Amino acid sequence: MAAELKKIDLLDDDARRESFLSTIRQALGHDAKSPSPKPDSRPIRSERLLRQVESDSPQLVNRWIEKARGNGMTVVESTFSRAAEPVIEFLMAHKARTLMVNFSSNPAPAIEEKLVSAGYELHHWGDADCMKQAFKCDASLTDCRYGVADSGGFLVWSDPKFGRSSTLTTAVHIVLLPKRLILADLIDAMPKILSDNNGQMPSNAVVINGPSKTGDIEMKLVTGVHGPKYLCAVILGD
Amino acid sequence: MTSVLTEPKARQTRVSLPVFRSDFMADAHEASADKRLQTAMDNSVTKRDMGRKTTLAELPDANALRELAGQIKRHTLDHLDYYLELLETNVKKQGGQVHYAADSQQANALIVEIAKRTGSQLVVKSKSMVSEETELNDALTEAGIEPLETDLGEFILQVDHDHPTHLVMPVVHKNAADIGHIFERYFKTDFTDNAQTLAEMARVHLRNRFNEADLGVSGVNFAVAETGSIVVCCNEGNGRMCVSRPRIHVALMGMEKLIPALDDLPVFLKLLARSASGQSLTQYSSIVSGARRPGEVDGPEEFHLIIMDNGRSRILAGEYRDTLRCIRCGACLNSCPIYRKVGGRTYGSVYPGPIGALLTPLFNGLEQHKHLPHASSLCGACFEACPVKIDIPKFLIMLRGDQVKAHITPWAERAIFKLWTVGLRYGWTYRLSQIAQRIGMRLLKDKQGWIKNLPPPVNGWTKQRDFPAPAKEDFRTVYKRYRQQQRQAGGH
């Protein structure tokens, strides 16, 4: 059982802060009261050690597909004009009838029209009840910012148009990924988070590498623990 | 530099980590005889170790990358004061709040206070070893706030009132049938040992609770000083839920989790999942930078980062600084023949395995954990596995030396080593000790020439093994006679 806690005053943060930092400075042999100097240099990360896929590799897309399938994703290749077909096929396979739709920068009205014509019930991120619908819908359909070929994942981040929940809460998630957005390596993707956001970090950026899974029970692979159980990537080319 | 030994007594005796069990030898014997535990370890831990080796081979030069990762961590530790202030500045720039906690009591009190001020009744938690250090769940419960673990393994342990025995696979010591019975009791439902069904039961139950929760507590895999971001890696998605659904997000981190910049992150992301579970990345690698921005529909309204010391500054000040490089991947556990045999519970505290054998005595003092520095054959498998190249065997040997200097070792052991030193010091003392040893040992042998029962205090050796009695003549005597014969025969 925890010992009785002394009441702590959150407003006393400054005193606690000074005491904490002073302890660290002393531990490092620095002056306890002075602000800490910036280091002259830091270890340089070598691209040679990190890069697994060359950015001009002709096999970029194939590499992404191979890794994504290995991660447990279903991957289908299609064209922009026929993208609705694999989407509907996947929804049918998993008996999904209601969808949360969320596109950050690559809206797909043509796909939405076809889904509505096929009888699917669409909800949009940003609607008044979208938070509730994100939990109720059978599936979600989103785009993403980039694919990352070395790991077979894709990168999303939140902003006023793109939610966190739309890639997290439904049992089925379908993501549209144009080939031109597939980057070679994680070291190419990281700088994009800042450069695409005017040098500011978004509140939440995620590299998603496959459906939710665990091996906690006797190392038996189980999918869909909290996040999506079924994840399909539709790779779009012309 | 100070060491564990030269610490003022008061600080030496301050316990930082909770101690769950304290009889290492008895627990080790019990665990070694537990066939179910052995099967569970063989199934899980060895597979992870093999997975690590396979996926590391995908990297251009895994060994050099580990070296770089170790250098980045060392650099950060050497300038921890600077990077802490930089992290704080950048978290605040994004509207987050930073709190410093000297020890686990302060960390818990801060979280309880934040919960009370925000009217939070239910706290959902993603996997966090640091919160195990502080025993946060107990503190919340005592304050009338409900804590709820959401990682499947941690949830199972919570409902079973048990503790994790692995850094990454918390419930490795239980099989599916064990878990089935736990859920049968908890959910009052029919027994099943089907893993998918059990996971589905937890999903449905926890899903509703995510929506009710007011506050989410997460751990921190890495904190990026340059951007004021924390990184949460998980496979299940509960980590993402905890940092996204509740209106308040509290991230609790040990102060050593810092890395300098965003471009350092791929170094660690590429090593962490490979080392922990043989994956190229975890299913979700979330980079969280504060609360939701204006106009965003979901995400927390408030973000609090609690940076905790809890004894780390003592380690930072001394010769064991590099042990703080640890990124809690569990690779050393998976590679350790001792851990595989005795399981995590035997280590008695929050951190099991080789890293636990180091950290627990460093945090709590050698006196209380005498056996842990010896829970190693010094095979070096942990060092080979460690993604940040902590030389665990070297530090364990140093701790053993510290024990000797502090007279924490048994008197009989000290006496024997003293005699041994005398015997090895000169040629004549060595020969004399060899004669005495040979005579003594041959008196103890049985008719087949085996020694099966040594007397106390060295009888521990023969409890589980026999060994052959020394030969009638030692090598020096035989060789001397051989040389004489050679000379007599006209040889050299």
- In 3D space, the residue among B170, B104, B165 whose CA is nearest the CA of residue B138 turns out to be B104
Q: What does the DSSP 8-state code read for residue B59?
A: S
Distance of CA A166 to the CA centre of its chain: 10
> Would you say B233 and A165 are in contact if contact means Cβ atoms under 8 Å apart?
no
Look up the domain containing A148 and give its range: 60-237
**In this structure, which amino acid lies at residue B210?**
F
Residues in chain B: 492
For residue B370, being part of any structural domain is answered with no
Same domain, B444 and B306: no
A89 pLDDT above the threshold of 60: yes
- Encoding tokens for residue B215? 């506050």
Q: What is the mean pLDDT of residues B236-242?
A: 96
Q: Residue A10: what pLDDT? A: 64
Residue B11 pLDDT > 50, yes or no?
A: no
Check B261 against A42: CB less than 8 A apart: yes
pLDDT at B2 over 50: no
Does B151 lie in the same domain as B43?
Answer: yes
d(CA A114, CA A85): 9
Domain boundary among B264, B294, B314: B314
Is B122 part of the contact surface with chain A (CB cutoff 8 Å)?
no
Cβ neighbours, 10 Å, residue B375: 21
For residue A98, give the CATH number of its domain.
3.40.50.10420
Q: What is the CATH number of the domain that holds B166?
A: 3.40.50.10420
Amino acid at B400: R
Q: Domain tally for chain B? A: 2
Question: Which chain B residue has its CA at the smallest distance from A218's CA?
Answer: B175
Within-domain flag for A16: no
Supply the pLDDT for residue B69.
98
Distance, in Å, from the CA atom of A174 to the CA atom of A160, rounded to the nearest integer, reads 21
| CA dist list (Å): A30 to B75, B81, B181, B226, B402 | 15, 9, 55, 22, 26
Q: Is B244 inside a domain boundary? A: yes
Measured torsion, CA atoms of residues B150, B152, B154, B158, in degrees rounded to the nearest 10: 80
Subunit contact A186:B112, Cβ cutoff 8 A: no
A226 touches chain B (CB under 8 A): yes
Which residues in chain B are closer than 8 Å to A1, comparing Cβ atoms?
Answer: 138, 142
Q: Does B265 touch chain A (CB under 8 A)?
A: yes
pLDDT given for residue B27 in this prediction: 92
* Shortest CA gap B404–chain A (Å): 25
Q: Is B16 exposed, middle or buried (0-12, 13-18, 19+ CB in 10 A)?
A: buried
Residues of A in Cβ contact (< 8 Å) with B100: 13, 16-17, 19-21
**Contact between chains at B101 and A28 (C-beta distance less than 8 A):** no
Please report whether residue A37 resides in a domain: no
Q: Which residue of B has its CA nearest to A158?
A: B296
Cβ pair B297:A207 closer than 8 A: no
Give me the residues of A, 195-224, that contact B with CB < 8 A: 201-220, 222, 224
Closest CA to A191 of A76, A21, A45: A45
Residue B9 has pLDDT above 50, yes or no: no
Q: Which of residues B314, B342, B371 is at a domain's end?
A: B314
B5 pLDDT above the threshold of 80: no
Name beta bridge partners: B250.
B217, B304
Structural domain containing residue B449: 412-488
Least-confidence region, from A5-14, A125-134, B80-89, B278-287: A5-14
Within an 8 Å CB–CB cutoff, is residue B204 touching chain A? no
Size of interface A-B (CB pairs under 8 A): 299
B98, containing H or E segment = strand B97-101
Kindly state the percentage of chain B with pLDDT values over 90.
Answer: 75
Q: Count CB-CB contacts under 10 A for residue A66.
A: 14
**Is residue B298 less than 8 Å (CB to CB) from chain A?**
yes
Give every CB contact of residue B348 below 8 A, 6+ residues apart in sequence.
Answer: B19, B20, B21, B22, B24, B27, B360, B369, B372
pLDDT tens track for B445-457: 888 889 998 888 7
- What does the pLDDT average to over B294-305? 96
Let me know if residue A26 belongs to a domain: no
Angle between helix B195-212 and helix B152-159 axes, rounded to 10 deg: 90
Q: How many domains does chain A have?
A: 1
Residues B294 and B427 in one domain: no
Set of chain B residues whose Cβ sits within 8 Å of the Cβ of A37: 82
- For residues B134 and B270, membership in a common domain is answered with yes
In this prediction, residue B6 carries a pLDDT of 37
- Nearest alpha-carbon partner for B272 in B231, B312, B216: B231
Note the ipTM here.
0.95
Query: What is the three-class DSSP state of A59?
Result: coil
Average pLDDT, chain A: 92
Q: Identify whether A32 is part of a domain.
A: no
Buried b / exposed e over B308-318, threshold 16 CB at 10 Å, is bbbbbbbbbbb
Residue A149's nearest CA partner among B63, B58, B262, B49 is B58
Instruction: Specify the DSSP element, H or E, that contains A19.
Output: helix A13-27
Mean pLDDT, range B191-199, rounded to an integer:
94
Round the average pLDDT of chain B to a whole number and report it.
Answer: 92
Q: Nearest 5°: phi and psi at B266?
A: -60, -30
Tell me which range, A213-227, B171-185, B249-263, is most confidently predicted by mean pLDDT: B249-263
Q: Does B256 touch chain A (CB under 8 A)?
A: no
Contact B288/A at CB under 8 A: yes
Q: A33 CB near a chain B CB, below 8 Å?
A: no
Tell me the average pLDDT across A198-215: 96
Answer with the residue of higher pLDDT: A146 or B471. A146
pLDDT in tens, B321-377: 999 999 999 999 999 999 999 999 999 999 999 999 999 999 999 988 999 999 999
B98: which residues sit within 8 A by CB, 6+ positions away?
A13, A17, B87, B88, B91, B92, B304, B305, B307
pLDDT digits (tens, 9 = 90+) for B368-405: 899 999 999 999 999 999 999 999 999 999 999 999 99
pTM of the model: 0.91
Contacts of residue A123 in chain B, CB cutoff 8 Å? none
Q: What is the pLDDT of residue B468?
A: 87
Q: B293 and A23: CB-CB below 8 Å? A: no
Note the pLDDT tens digit of each residue in B50-65.
999 999 999 999 999 9
| Residue B85 touches chain A, beta carbons under 8 Å | yes
Instruction: Convert A162-190 to b/e letters by CB count within 10 Å (16 or more is b).
Output: bbbbbbbbbbbbbbbbbeebbbbbbbbbb
- Residue B492's pLDDT band (cuts 50, 70, 90): low
Classify residue A76: in a domain, yes or no.
yes
The residues with which A204 forms a beta bridge, in sequence order, are B288
Q: Tell which of B314, B337, B364 closes a domain.
A: B314
Q: Is residue B402 part of a domain?
A: no
Task: Return d(Cα B104, Cα B128) in angstroms, integer.
Answer: 13
The amino acid occupying position B234 is C
Look at residue B464 in the predicted model and tell me its pLDDT. Answer: 81
B291 vs B60: CA distance, rounded Å: 37
Query: In terms of domains, do B227 and B114 share one?
Result: yes
Residue B364 lies in a domain: no
